[in-house]
Structure 1
Amino acid sequence: MDSPYRRELEVAIAAAQTASRISREVLLAFGRPGNGDAAAAAAAAAAAAAASAGPLDVVKDDLSPVTVADFAIQAFLVRTLGRAFPEDGFVGEESSGELRSHAGLAARVLEVLARCAGEALFRDAQDVCDAIDLCVARREPGAAGGRVWVFDPIDGTKTFLRGEQYAVNVALLQGGRQVLSVVACPLLSPDASAATPVRDGDVDPTGRGCLLYAVRGHGAFVRPLVGSPDEAQARRLPRHADSVASPADLRAVTCWTRLDSGVDVVHKAVAEQLQVPFPGSDLLGWVLRWVVLAMGVANMTVWVYKRRDRYAKVWDHAGAMLLFEEVGGKITDVHGKDIDLTAGRTLKDNFGFVAAPPSLHRVVLDALHSELKAQGKHELLR
């Protein structure tokens, strides 16, 4: 791809590939390879048990699991992109508090980084923790005119722990605007298409995985994750959202009955009103939902939080949304407002999401509003 962000794209793609190797190393070590290689998984699990340095996961204050891979990938991305672009800022999901208080976990993180990224990258566990904390100590996403990299080291941590679908999200914002996206999906087939909805348990049997990338105004692309960075492997994704004109052609992606934060009954009612098969693609991680929207497996999603004071996190959406926009998709919140990525780590100026082909976005939005009113949830429209 020829663009003003060519070097950033090259560095980010290489970093995402290494981040994926880190994630797969952790999965394999704990017997959860996600690719059917039971013999290799069993051998690796036995070795890991014999030399265990700490637990696979701990629990954060918000009760979501944190894994060796989360910490290792965030530290690796900060160090790699920071060396390439030293003036840029960073925002990421993790902070090092749990890592600093679990010596065994810190040792495991350092070990996997040494195996996958080289022993010279980090001096010790303290160095790893310091890198991770650059994501909470430096520039916010909305810094005026500034460049900020936003990371979600493992999107879909719960499914990751089961050896199911997950993603590594890398985004570059400039002045709070998405300009570059790189998303690695180690267990998703690059051949996923509208013919078959994607679910969390659908793992690429070839073990290739896929990588998607986009630069604003230059289109979105998909390629196998494994292999040479030669761009000849990449396939430009068509602007499929531009050609959808009838509600009969809508295909949904959601997370059905597995997240307590969403109003499931409304999500289903909107699909029924529009006569859209439901749930369609069913994925826990938000980044993966944006990915299947970009790939044309789906072209519509609606998400309403149960409480008006519940907001999305920037790392679950920044960059990944650009993939859908570059294939013609339109994204707003429940009120029809554009998504404001300058609001900070929490997208507090927006509530929920509505994404659809531009010609049908108002139809989907109106269906959502009518269902919220019909079910007496007027407070969610305020």
Structure 2
Amino acid sequence: MSIFGSDLTLALRLADAADLTTLARFRSLDLKVERKPDRTPVTDADVAVEDAIRVTLAEQRPEDAVAGEERGGTVAEGRTWVIDPIDGTKNFLRGTPVWATLIALVADGVPVVGVASAPALGRRWWAAAGQGAWASEAGAEPRRISVSGVTDLADAYLSTTHLGSWVEHHSRAAYLALADACWETRAFGDFWQHCLVAEGAIDVAAEAIVNPWDVAAMQVLVEEAGGRFSDLTGVPRYDRGSALSSNNHLHDAVLGLLSH
């Protein structure tokens, strides 16, 4: 059993509570939406979920730091919980069911616990260092998940979030070269594409721009599923502004194409 087992249990409890709040506000006619300085939307559900998580963490893990999308904070030395109350807020406010609460525990700079709970999809993914990666769907028994065995980009399934982000933050030409090298491409976007990599449904997910709370949970999930996670230059960290997850077999080939 991983030393982070009790932390994973707590993270799953936090996700349970978050799901009750987010589902209650999803497609609500009185949903309150504001714009943050970076022009991204925030709803009253985002704030309510993060605030509730912070209250519970203050009670259960008072020595740990917390960094969240809505209330701020930084990843400190030692242990920090990194929270995205609703990843996919644009989907959430448009009534599209692809959004999730992301909860990660980072210890000494390394994500060691990760949960992605997508209640409108009826799905949840989680992992802890040394315990493998797991998923559940619609109340079924949890199943251990693993990445695919695809070894050739010509057979690979690729996903990104928003193609336009590659123009400003990396290189759309490089991404299109990668897309041309792959068998099939989609834009599943946000947390979902990394979860799909972890469970072997797709082979590569690449994002030109991310925040730490977007992918901290994804790093431990993908790695515990046997995959590889890095930024777009190959550095295996969640906090360098971009993200690439793969089944490991394809990672170096993808990095090679994205470097041009």
Query: Do both proteins adopt the same fold according to a TM-score greater than 0.5, normalized to the shorter chain?
Result: yes
Equivalences, count:
257
Q: How many angstroms apart in 1 are the aligned matches of 2:206 and 2:13?
A: 33
For residues 265-289 of structure 1, the C-alpha deviation after alignment (integer angstroms, 9 at most, x for no partner) is 43222120x23312x2x2342x222
Alignment-derived partner of residue 106 in structure 2 = 173
Work out the CA distance in 1 between the residues paired with 2:161 and 2:46.
22
Match of 1:359 among 224, 234, 249: 249
The structure number with the bigger radius of gyration is 1
| TM-score of the superposed pair, with normalisation by structure 2 | 0.89
Query: What percent identity do the matched residue pairs reach?
Result: 30
Contact 2:100 2:119 in 1 (8 A): yes
Cα distance change on mapping 1:23 and 1:10 into 2, 3 Å: same
Q: Which residue of 1 aligns with 2:84?
A: 152
Does structure 1 conserve the Cα–Cα contact (< 8 Å) formed by 2:27 and 2:93?
no
Gaps spanning 5+ residues in structure 1: where? 31-47, 49-54, 96-134, 189-208, 306-311, 342-346, 373-382
2:132 alignment partner in structure 1: 219
| Cross-structure match for 1:75 | 51
- Tell me the distance in 1 between the aligned counterparts of 2:232 and 2:68: 25
Equivalent residue of 1:233, what SS?
A: coil
SS in 2 for 1:13: helix
Is 2:174 aligned against 1:276?
A: no
1-structure distance, mates of 2:17, 2:244: 33
CA contact (8 A) 1:246 1:360 kept: yes
Alpha-carbon distance in 2 for matches of 1:257, 1:89? 34
Alignment of 1:3-18 (within 5 A): 3-18=2-17
Q: Paired residue for 2:143, among 230, 235, 251? A: 235
Structure (1 or 2) with the greater strand fraction: 2
Q: Deviations over 1:60-116 (max 9, x none)?
A: 111111101110000011111221111111000113xxxxxxxxxxxxxxxxxxxxx
Q: Counterparts of 2:206 and 2:81 in 1: how far apart (Å)?
A: 27
For residues 114-263 of structure 1, the aligned pairs below 5 Å read 135-136=72-73, 140-141=74-75, 143-144=76-77, 146-164=78-96, 165-188=98-121, 209-224=122-137, 227=139, 233-238=141-146, 240-241=147-148, 243-257=149-163, 259=165, 261=168, 263=171
Structure 2: tracts of 5 or more residues without a match:
none
Deviation, structure 1 residue 28 = 4.2
Q: Does the 8 Å CA contact 2:2/2:129 hold for their aligned counterparts?
A: no
Q: Report the Cα distance in structure 1 between the residues aligned to 2:28 and 2:255, rounded to whole angstroms.
A: 45
More helix by share: 1
Aligned AA for 1:3? Answer: S
- 1:331 maps to 229
Counterparts of 2:241 and 2:85, CA distance in 1: 24
Amino acid at match of 1:153: P
Question: How does the TM-score come out when normalised to structure 1?
Answer: 0.62
Change (3 A) 1:59 1:77: same
Flag the 1:257–1:217 CA change in 2: closer, same or farther, 3 A.
same
